[in-house]
Amino acid sequence: MSIASDMIRGHTDTIILAQLLQGDSYGYKINRAIEMKTGGKFELKEATLYTAFRRLEQMGWITSYWGDENTGARRRYYSITELGVENYYRMLNEWEASKQIIEHLIRPERAE
């Protein structure tokens, strides 16, 4: 497992929900958006992404439906639910809190 994966763990759900907050989308597109946003510095692995979709849907934070494209490969679209929105904001707050705890813990203490 690369270093980034343990750092990102615990944020994949939030990252996906953040994307869906801007409107329904599908796996492939979400991954492209993330890649674009980070200038290629980061991407969710496909297996991680689809595992996350299953998890989020089971928790009722997202719902899905098949698109009706009449050309190209079929797409499964995802929508964020009200419950998903609530949890998204909760997780944003948790990030703020844990970020500060981490910041505090990974620096050696100044002499006092």
Partner DNA sequence: GAAATATACCTTGACAGGTGAGGTATATTG
Partner DNA sequence: CAATATACCTCACCTGTCAAGGTATATTTC
Binding site for DNA (CB under 7 A): 1-2, 4-6, 8-10, 12, 26-29, 44-48, 50-55, 71-77
Residue 111 backbone zone (phi > 0: left; psi -120 to 50: alpha; other: beta): beta
Which among DNA, a copy of itself, none contacts residue 47 (Cβ within 5 to 8 A by kind)? DNA
78-104 b/e (C-beta count within 10 Å ≥ 16 → b): bebbeebeebbeebeeeeeeeeeeeee
Non-local (6+) Cβ contacts of 34 within 8 A are 15, 19, 42, 43, 44
- Which member of 32, 37, 45, 54 binds a copy of itself (CB under 8 A)? 37
Give strand pairing partners of 79: 63
Q: Between residue 44 and residue 83, which ones bind a copy of itself under the rule CB under 8 A? A: none
Contact 12, 52 (CB under 8 A): yes
* Among DNA, a copy of itself, none, partner that 63 touches (CB below 5 to 8 angstroms by kind): none
Q: Which is nearer to DNA, 3 or 110 (CB)?
A: 3
- What CA–CA distance (Å, rounded) separates 60 from 84? 7
Q: Which is nearer to a copy of itself, 66 or 89 (CB)?
A: 89
Q: Which residues bind a copy of itself (CB under 8 A)?
A: 3-4, 6-11, 14-15, 18-19, 21-22, 34, 37-38, 41-42, 91-92, 94-95, 98-99, 101-102, 104-109
